[in-house]
Amino acid sequence: MNDLQDETPEAVMDAAIARHDLVGAVVCVAQDGQQVWQRSVGLADRDNARPMQEDTIFLLASVTKPVVAAAAMKLVEQNLLHLEDPVSRWLPSFRPELRDGSAPEITVRHLLTHMSGLSYRFSESLHSPYHALNVSDGLDQPGLSLEENLSRLVQAPLRFVPGTRWRYSLAMDVLGGVMSAATGEKLPKLVEDIILSPLNMIDTGFSVVDHKRLAVPYAGDGRNLVKISDGMTVTMGAEKVIFAPSRLDNSASYPSGGAGMAGTAGDILRFLEAIRLFGRGILSKDTVAAMVAEQVPAGTRGLSAGKAFGYGWGIISDPEAAISPLSPGSLQWGGVYGHNWFIDPLRKLSCVILTNTTPEGMSGRFVQDMQKAICRSFEVPQDEF
């Protein structure tokens, strides 16, 4: 492996394409309030040799989560929702039980922090209730309603007492239902009014605004990359993710608060910058301060080493333990279609990495190399820290 100490972001992107690790990618970087770098490489559609463009639209998967979390926190600001509200206040039939038959209350706070006791099907064993009940992870089963998916999910035992552990889960999908019930508005309209419209995120939403610009998703590694089709299961380590790229084309598909949006890198960058600047245009400074605080501290059972969790995203608590080039307090997450993003407050950086290749574009070598190259290229002098 070449020494990456002097590799530029351009070189990292070109190398990933040359290695066939990626089919295509778009990366956007903003620093200190200004977009300072953007580049697209590779193909958005390999079969038709359609090049990746800076305005290519991607299925966002979990890049959806921070946007929906921010919309939820706006409802908290407006006293339409409260962090300690029991989910059952808004969704009376949603009272999942522990294995002992008790039904502890899940709160809005538990949903936002992934401490609800819920899980994802893709992280459960094939013999688990999630598979037996055919629970959707918000990425598959076009045409499935939220009511039906919650009726399946509520039958699966909670993994732990809410508030005692962290586990990545369908919590944000449940939160989407809570938000709709609390306001009488559908989730896409809430997100549009609260986040997308104020930030002029015109290419992003719970449907694809222009299919001619939509990236075709691929999975695998090296020269074995294959186009993801409906019903395809992609193995990622111990996890098996079921995809249905056509899901957003079916208007009957429920708007997944955890995985249901599509959009562009430029739109997501504007959102991240609004968060980095403590809510400019969408949220109060106090609200964002709570969102970026360690609501789930590092060391909590279920979290990876060196990482904490706020409202809607992971937090780099200890970069050395997390094996991360990012500064302490940085926000970071990804998306299972092949995405990654981060906000580094000390470097005054926001970065969006969207690819059409999973898992490489979510958690592979490309992401690690890209984060390092961007942090080196857009470093802030120490006397400004």
List residues with catalytic annotation: 62
Question: Cα separation of 385 and 381, whole Å?
Answer: 7
Query: CB-based contacts of 92: which residues, under 8 Å, 6+ apart?
Result: none
SS3 227: strand
φ and ψ at 151, to 5 degrees? -65, -30
CB atoms within 10 A of CB 175: 27
Task: Give the containing element (helix H, strand E) for 308.
Answer: strand 307-309
Instruction: Tokens 């609260």: give the residue.
Output: 194
The two structure tokens encoding residue 79: 């006293």
Structure tokens that stand for 170 in this block: 């369908």
**Pick from 23, 28, 62, 64: which is nearest to 44 by CA?**
23
Contact (CB, 8 A) for 121 and 127: no
Q: Which two tokens stand for residue 124?
A: 């459960």
DSSP letter string, 77-88: HTTSS-TT-BHH
User: What does the radius of gyration of the chain's CA atoms come to, in whole angstroms?
Assistant: 20
Ramachandran class of 267: left when φ > 0, alpha when ψ lies in -120 to 50, beta otherwise: alpha
Pairing type for strands 357-358 and 218-219 reads parallel
User: Contact, 58 vs 34, CB < 8 A?
Assistant: no
Q: How many CB atoms lie under 10 A from the CB of residue 346?
A: 15
Classify the phi-psi angles of 222: left when phi > 0, otherwise alpha if psi is within -120 to 50, otherwise beta: left
Among 338, 345, 335, which residue's Cα sits nearest to residue 291?
345
- Give per-residue burial for 357-378: e unless 16+ CB within 10 Å, then b: bbbbbbbbebbbbbbbbbbebb
Q: Return d(Cα 364, Cα 362) in angstroms, integer.
A: 6
